A and B are shown apart, each in its own frame.
Chain A
């Protein structure tokens, strides 16, 4: 599996020294391996999302960075110094917890000032920074409320202010938006992203929601069963997925299984020229990269044309997703601009460049 994590170590903003350097971290709970050989770098000012299904180990990785769990092997460096040997309260890392973990016996401003008070900062400095932080998250009006009296979205802002007021080098966010309803959630995604740009602190954001990851991140680290599947920018991970799992997890895709022989890729009756080595091959073809055309174009080396019949039509608003049964028995998903009901046979085509060669995702147990 070493090859999978190989393109990973490229930082999104080249030339910037890595703030956090995770080296070969592994963790098991009993005999159950949760993380295997994770290596990942986080750049200064970067918004990195750790994306994965439940049980992929994403929260465990976050807890290891925060110091609530210790790795069985490997090390973590922050600005060149060992971070993993420090207790959580000596790390310049703060966390926004999934359920916010606000102190119920303290008021909003006491919660926000907690980190500054335990650091024994002068009282007037604490007061200034707390009111700045509350203003930043637009919660100044609630300074004297108890956390139990404010809404989930408001608690979320307070949790954010409580973490950021300490000016950490790195902010960890453990699915902080998962408890919010859809609209508030989209609004917070935008706010969180612009806040991150404003304060310039590196964010490590954990989520299972791929759309959320796409909207907010500079880079996405996709975690699957304790291993990094791919680390890349949202655009790159979407348009050049490295593995079949990545292609399916991020967005929607068609997987075409075939063979490459003498510079030609063949999947059922479809074939196109490729500059790839011979052997069995798996291609990912996004539904929006298949075009519906009026009539069959002549033989063209730049497009692959075929015909198919609509089996199912799912309305998604501006677009619709069609299940098309091709003449050779292959079923493909096709995304097209919404029309009234379509009928009969369709002429379809795609560019060979959009069929991305992906690796099989091996079974892991």
Chain B
């Protein structure tokens, strides 16, 4: 057994870290959300529910929140549609190339977010790669304008960025399926597609839920992709928070929106964890 002092010595630094950089800021955020801003642009330290009233009174906040959730939902769906087959191939059919393909999924995560977002700018722009190509093969006469500065561009970019986050937990779940279950299913007369839908997919659901949660939560809070590629119609809730904490100088309202998002995300995580538990059998 380790001595009490030793245990304190190794647990204290991470505890302090969490306290100073996580708990204290959250507590401050909570306080700010109940304060207000005076006309002379100073924070008034008296308790009020005005920020929360404002949030539900002004349509633009809730509308943007719902639009952000819709973007996140689409990113989640596309990430799963792309990520599941990839993870499935990787786990069941890649054989000796498994490690190589696994690295290929990981490598994009090493590239800076900004680089990847800008890459899509050069692909989707009106004189970008895609439009140049389309005009070259005479599919269109003029550049397609909806490609860039639109929710489409945001969904596309976020899907690209967050698909690996969906692939990895699905891959891990698939790797955990004992292969003799697949053999047992074939042995009992189930074709490969029956085996997939009756055995493999149900047993991979915890991974799908984890991947879906990652993609949804990370997309919901994203503000760089809409900033760079979204244009006016692609704005998301985080962009509003950024401007409230910045140019608009309304920290209390920004804090209230942040806390609402936090509450939303935490309840989502809890819900998905419950579901994952329900669907895991080991």
Contact = CB atoms under 8 A, between A and B. Distances in A.
Q: Do A and B come from one complex?
A: yes
A148 B178 CA distance: 14
Nearest to B199: A103
Interface string A314-346: 000000000000000000000000000000000
A115 B188 CA distance: 5
Interface in A95-129: 95, 97, 99, 101-105, 114-115, 118-119
Chain B interface mostly: helix
Nearest to B279: A105
Contact of A103 (B181, B189, B191): B181
B77 interface: no
Contacts of B188: 89, 94, 114-115, 118, 162-163, 166
A176 interface: no
Contacts of A101: 178, 180-181, 183-184
A250 to B, nearest CB: 30
Contacts of B183: 66, 68, 88, 95, 97, 101
Interface of B: 178, 180-181, 183-191, 194, 198-199, 202-203, 279, 281-282
Interface in A49-107: 66-68, 87-90, 93-95, 97, 99, 101-105
Nearest to B188: A115
Contacts of A23: none
A114 B279 contact: no
Contacts of A118: 185, 188-191, 194, 198
B200 to A, nearest CB: 11
Contacts of A104: 181, 203, 281-282
A66 B184 CA distance: 10
29 contacts: A66-B183, A66-B187, A67-B187, A88-B186, A89-B186, A89-B188, A89-B190, A89-B191, A95-B187, A97-B180, A101-B180, A101-B183, A103-B181, A104-B203, A104-B282, A105-B202, A105-B203, A114-B188, A114-B190, A115-B188, A115-B190, A118-B188, A118-B189, A118-B190, A118-B194, A118-B198, A148-B282, A162-B188, A166-B189
B190 A67 contact: no
A162 B190 CA distance: 13
A105 B173 CA distance: 14
Contacts of A309: none
Nearest to A165: B188
A148 B281 CA distance: 7
Contacts of A90: 189
A89 B189 CA distance: 4
Interface of A: 66-68, 87-90, 93-95, 97, 99, 101-105, 114-115, 118-119, 146, 148, 162-163, 166
A115 B181 contact: no
Contacts, number: 69
Contacts of A88: 183, 186-187
Contacts of A146: 281
B38 to A, nearest CB: 59
Contacts of B199: 103
Contacts of A163: 187-188
Nearest to A174: B180
Nearest to B181: A101
Given A99-B180, A101-B178, A104-B282, A87 B189 contact: no
**Most chain B CB neighbours (cut-off 10 Å) among A68, A105, A148:** A105
Given A68-B186, A89-B191, A118-B194, 19 more contacts: A87-B186, A88-B186, A88-B187, A89-B186, A94-B188, A97-B183, A99-B178, A101-B178, A101-B180, A102-B184, A104-B181, A104-B281, A105-B202, A105-B279, A105-B281, A115-B189, A115-B190, A118-B198, A163-B188
Contacts of A162: 188
Contacts of B189: 89-90, 115, 118-119, 166
A163 B188 CA distance: 7
Those 10 A-B pairs whose CB atoms lie nearest each other, nearest first: A104-B281, A115-B188, A101-B184, A118-B190, A101-B180, A88-B186, A89-B186, A95-B187, A105-B202, A118-B194
